[in-house]
Structure 1
Amino acid sequence: MQHQVLFLGSDESIYGSAREIHEKYGVKSTIIAAANPLTATRDSQIVNIKIINGINDDPKFIKEMLKLGEKVKEQQQPTILIGSGDKYAALIAKHKHELSTYFVIPYVDYDQMIQLNHKESFEKIAAKYNLAMPATRRLSKADVTGDLHSDWGYPVILKSDNSVEWMDLWFVGHKKIYFINSDEELNKVIKLAYTNGYTGTFTMQDMIPGDDSFERNLTAYIDQNHKVRVISMGHALIEDPGPQGRGNHMAIMPDYNETIYQQYVNFLEDLKITGFVNFDLKYDQRDDTYKVFEMNVRLGRSNFWASLNGVNWMSYLIADYDGTLTNEPVLFANKNQTEWQVWLAITPRLFKKYARANAASQQALQLIAAGKYGYTYKYEADWNYRRFLNYWRANRNFSKYFEKYFKA
């Protein structure tokens, strides 16, 4: 392992990546947090945590990162910079030129990141490559007129196009994703958002019928020569039911679809990008297609589900820049169903209680009964009394949380 990885953030995504490094190389990772570490990395023995208050915003971000860069330069060990979530990814891409003096930056340029992450511009790119998408309409501040309506009927999905700006806002009624059921509700939400300072646009989409088990997560790593080296598809089973967590997966089972794999490999390689990407898809039984909602130029929060099923994302990243990544064809992950494991963010008991009754959840329950399941957080080599207590408290809170928000 010639390259080390410096992580920004302390969430579950970062812990999963640090765990991958520890499992593969036996090495502790260093993470930088903007405040006290989140539960995922708290009391961990496989990470060294450095807290720099406010580093998740400019101008402090670039000021502190350049200081860290000087120290990295003195150590003379090449360092790859990885951030959690949209915010850190955007900050790294925005300052890619300055940071590249000190770090390896496996992200696209900022302008391209915005183009791919922003739903309106991504929609045009997806159409060019014949990627199926739900019927979509863009809404802006100019639409605060009180007479908005949906051309497809209801329900519809409403989501901000600028996730970084939206994440920094807070007001009563603020949600990550809205499920709108009437003209009145649509107009109310739009007015509420712009009254409380939102400046970006919204995407309103036809709501594809079907529960959480119709959703898929597609993740890939593209090397520095713009070749996809591995692509893995996950079958979402149940999502976070709360207002701020909708879209966050709570259970994922592997999936395999060679047609989708090849279509997205062609798409990604034609874009000439590098690094990690993930897509949210949903199967539309009305026309037998997988429709894409959005593209994120980063790893997802629950990316460890793929590592649980044999894809160690960090080993691909490190081998790429170490120069040891073998020149093999792209790996289409999860072909062998006998090796499948279910990734969980909740206990098996809660999954059994709240997962919808369907063929996918039944298959997942069979795998769980056979002991073929795991968690990002629960790592035997990093298990101690404090982490057990954190885990116990989190599960107790999840039980109350699902009871409060889950709708049958």
Structure 2
Amino acid sequence: MSSAAPGPASAGAGSGPGAPPDLPLQPVMLGADIGVYALARAFHEAYGVRSIVVSGAALGPVARSRIIENVLLGPGASPQEMVDRLVTLAGEHPGRRLVLMANSDWLVRVVVRHREQLEPHYVVPFLSQDLLDRISDKAVFAEMCAEMDISVPRTIVQDFARAADAGWAPVPVDLPYPLIAKAASSADYQDVHFEGKKKVFEIGTPAELDALWTSLRGAGFRGRFVAQELVPGDDTQMRSITAYVDSAGTITLLCSAHVLLEEHTPSGLGNPAAMVTGRFDEMLEQARRFLTRTGYVGFANFDVKVDPRDGAFRFFEVNPRIGRNNYYVTAAGANPVRFLVEDRVHGRAVEPVVVDREVLYSILPHRLLLRYVREPALRAKVQGLIRSGAVAHPLRYPADGSVQRRAYVAAALLNQVRKFRTYYPEPTATGF
């Protein structure tokens, strides 16, 4: 199917799932990163509405924006305090159809766990608590995929639940080195602090792995970590999938992208910084299988890597949200919030869409990106998209183009140069 999004719907909203659909739409979002801004931009592009963003601080992506009203929580606000503020906020906007969005794993967990308190006031378009708990654990996700004949890297689980016991010892890991280590559940890892903490660790030797286990134990981590086979290949082997499953269980949106370059800072490692959208049917069919068999609803974002040894798609994880880089879907012509609003606000089914339009999504200066994209055919594709103007940066929005915003975007682009110079100064040889 083509990349055309469903036709415009009248902006509708009010509080609670049973409210009339013709009330004014009011998106409310938790968080303050570039993905939250991208969602606010998508709502503004589709419906001309300003979003309310609730966060601990109005960070650069959402600060001084004409399309956002920032609502700040007190420092160190607890999840319950956040929920209480959302309930109060709903009372401050009577006669509106409030749609609640969150775009980080721990915030999605807060919303889902407090669904009963929030649903009288908001549309809460997320999956069930049980399914969230299962898919958010990378170890369980790997087991689920294996049952559905979806390929994943070989995975060994390290459980720290009893790590405080004097006799506890980590289970042996018989994977070849280097290998990958990461938290099974990012929510369990969110508030753990130790020197050298990273989102994802590339472990070169058994001694390095032992040191990581020691650091996690000493920091009080009591969740599960996974050690995974390292699938070879550089950033260009990565793929991204964004999907929306409506309240009837129909997959109405599928969009995939070929990653060109990821972030390489310790805190951002693995986040795509540049992608080209495209249609990868074999990979999308596996995502469709997963979503259908699990009874998934709402937005989902899959991280996948093409194994250069056999061309197989290795599924790494599914995020229970639309994803930080969601604007690549909007840029490719299928504004994702339309699928949500049609479904949850208007109660209307839409014709399913599989996006096939090619667009370059990038938060990097073009010269910086091209320095890293060395493979001739891929480089030529990127240059062609740049020449034709088929490019998108989520923060570059003409309708939100004040002097302050333009200055922030320019500074953010320069900061990317600094970060790559510091953390990834030379392109890897593999795949370029």
Partner of 2:36: 14
Output the CA distance in 2 between the equivalents of 1:356 and 1:270: 39
The correspondence for 2:91, drawn from 65, 70, 78, is 70
Residues 103 and 134 (structure 1), Cα distance of their counterparts in 2 relative to 1, 3 Å cut: same
**Aligned counterpart for 1:347 among listed residues 365, 372, 375:** 365
**Correspondence 1:371-390 to 2 at 5 A:** 371-390=389-408
Task: Show the counterpart of 1:360.
Answer: 378
* Secondary structure of the corresponding residue to residue 353 of structure 1: helix
Q: Does structure 1 residue 86 correspond to structure 2 residue 123?
A: no
1:55: Cα distance to partner? 7.4
Report if aligned partners of 2:199, 2:266 keep a CA contact under 8 Å in 1.
Answer: yes
Q: Structure 1 stretches of 5 or more lacking a match?
A: none
Bigger mean CA offset, 177-186 vs 137-146: 137-146
Which of residues 373, 391, 396 in structure 1 aligns to 2:414?
Answer: 396
Can you list the C-alpha shifts for 1:315-367, whole angstroms capped at 9, x where unaligned?
11111123364442x21111xxxx42100011101101233435334322321
Give distance in 2, aligned partners of 1:382 and 1:395.
17
Q: Which residue of 1 aligns with 2:20?
A: none
Match of 1:160 in 2: 183
How far, CA to CA, are the matches of 1:399 and 1:327 in structure 2?
Answer: 42
Q: Are residues 159 and 362 of structure 1, via their aligned partners in 2, closer, same or farther at CA, if it must alter by over 3 Å?
A: farther
Q: Which amino acid aligns with 1:283?
A: V
Of 94, 102, 113, 2:121 maps to 102
Secondary structure of 1:24's aligned partner:
helix
Residue in structure 1 matched with residue 49 of structure 2 by the alignment: 27
SS in 1 for 2:190: helix
In the TM superposition, what whole-angstrom CA distance separates every residue of 1:96-120 from its partner, at most 9, and x where no partner exists?
A: 1121111111112223211111112
The 5-angstrom pairing of residues 115-130 of structure 1 reads 115-130=134-149
Matches within 5 A, 1:266-305: 266-305=289-328
The Cα offsets for residues 7-46 of structure 1, whole Å up to 9 and x where unpaired, read as 11121111111111111111211111222x1111111111
- Aligned mates of 1:24, 1:172 — CA distance in 2: 44
Task: Write out per-residue CA displacement over residues 205-260 of structure 1, whole angstroms, 9 at most, x where no aligned residue.
Answer: 11111110100011100111111101011111100111111111110101212222
1:142-291 superposed matches below 5 A: 150-291=173-314
- Aligned residue among 40, 43, 53 for 2:64: 43
Q: For 2:407 and 2:75, locate their aligned partners in 1 and report how far apart those are by CA, in whole Å.
A: 28
How far did residue 266 of structure 1 move?
3.1
Question: Equivalent residue for 2:12?
Answer: 2
Distance 1:56 1:395 in 2: 31
Which residue pairs with 2:337 in the alignment? 314
CA contact (8 A) 1:158 1:205 kept: yes
CA contact (8 A) 2:306 2:312 kept: yes
Contact residue 211 and residue 356 of structure 1 kept, 8 A: no
Q: TM-score, normalised by structure 1?
A: 0.93
SS in 2 for 1:377: coil
Residue 145 of structure 1 and its aligned partner are, at CA, apart by 7.5
Does the residue aligned with 1:59 lie in a helix, a strand or coil?
Answer: helix
Question: Residues 170 and 356 (structure 1 numbering): CA distance in 2 closer, same or farther, change over 3 Å?
Answer: farther
The 8 Å contact of residues 148 and 187 in structure 1, kept in 2 or not, is answered as: no
List, as ranges, runs of 4+ consecutive aligned residues in structure 1 with deviation greater than 6 Å: 142-148
- Secondary structure of the structure 2 residue equivalent to 1:168: coil
For structure 2, the residue ranges without an aligned partner over 5 or more in a row are 1-10, 14-24, 428-432
Measured at CA, do residues 147 and 83 of structure 1 come closer, stay the same or move farther in structure 2, by a change above 3 Å? closer
Bigger proportion of residues as helix:
1
CA distance in 1, matches of 2:379, 2:228: 26
Contact 2:276–2:361 (8 Å) recurs in 1:
yes
| Distance in 2 between residues matched to 1:148 and 1:98, nearest whole Å | 41
My pick for the range that moved more, 198-207 or 368-377, is 368-377
2: CA distance between counterparts of 1:354 and 1:344? 13
CA contact (8 A) 2:158 2:170 kept: no
1:396 CA displacement: 1.9
- Check the 8 A contact 2:90/2:98 in 1, yes or no: no
Give the number of aligned pairs.
400
Moved more, 353-362 or 209-218: 353-362
